[in-house]
Structure 1
């Protein structure tokens, strides 16, 4: 995905979103946004729930979330998120580890961020009543203000507040070294490989045999591992991923519904229309009319 952002010289520059060390989103699930399908990435991901309710699936466990909750997702963790009643509004902060680390590891501070790769998050969802909540919410609130004001030093202010957030995470013992077994880690690695492969090839005629072969397993054993980690079958995952991709294309492009269906891996238009309506409770054409102009607020640097 590419975004147009303003660079420090006030010139418009086309930049790959994934290359940015800090990204800030505001998601409104009532505005045609269906949620996050299972995925993983190298960045740290933080959410703050503004309103509504939903659930996040993080590293084998499903968590119910509501207004005021803070969700912390460490790098390389398989996760997803959805709204319960299409009423969830949340802010997402995506942070590259390298953005928080010094080049010369001054004062040995980098260990706090490199360890995140192998760290277990004791409480991924932090509620208002949990210890240290206000101290964790405060720096996120200040980041929101920095983004809104866009003052001359807002990039520095955002970085300072991110440091404050991580200090509070450690002070309140929300992060600890993982004690997961090597078998558990290997299983997660296999499922992550399969998810990446599916995402890269979802537009084609994917088969379970093909995916299983890619990760070096029999089809039956692969399907068992996939469902253990995601609580859904691989076939379900592929279908929902394709539907989400199609929904994004309906909002963001002017391509025909037939072309979108084919691009997203549906080679039978009737099947696509039926599955889309079953999942979104609306036809593709009506979905496009309703949500065509809706956008996710986005800032990056």
Structure 2
């Protein structure tokens, strides 16, 4: 089976950003099928546009825009891509970098889809930092990556103890439509759990308050839509459930320190940058 060296992905690269033991690659996928292979180092893949089918030895899934996957090193998998524009970025991590910060990834052995909004937010911030290329880029990139990896080993990531069944049901409910107007009484009736218990237990199992969790879900959804030039900002604001355009602009700017227009410009940037 083929083992791909550092920085090698099947596609055309917008940019390859590298410093010390990290490599971030912004890639347009060009191969409709990639046979079984593995990579030299562990890495994240965040899909910006298009779709990917991925299969490893334990499971198979379809990746949609906004999905985040982590691959452990030497984890075998293969991919198929429909005949449409598909773009994603990768964050490849040398084990020397993990040793430097005393980070352990045994809980992520294999392949994992990570869908908690706090983890995805960190990965988005990392990606934007590589596009802005300012004096604090390295600090933002490393901090965001450390936060994402630490979150993945906490209540917001992989649970060490089995959670009650209602937790998975609630997660599916929130992720199926982040813009739905839900209240605790409705959720309580759906789950068969007392609303006070849901409210008190939510941070324990989701790592954030109800409000912060839903807000981050909606902002992440907006980020994904802004990656696609087929959507304009007015449509995105409405689709993601913001009250009005002003509320949308203020929320995005507070979250990403960029206005929606600035964010769109960065997301569509194809200029190659080297650290």
TM-score normalised by the chain length of structure 2: 0.48
TM-score normalised by the chain length of structure 1: 0.45
In terms of Rg, which structure is larger? Answer: 1
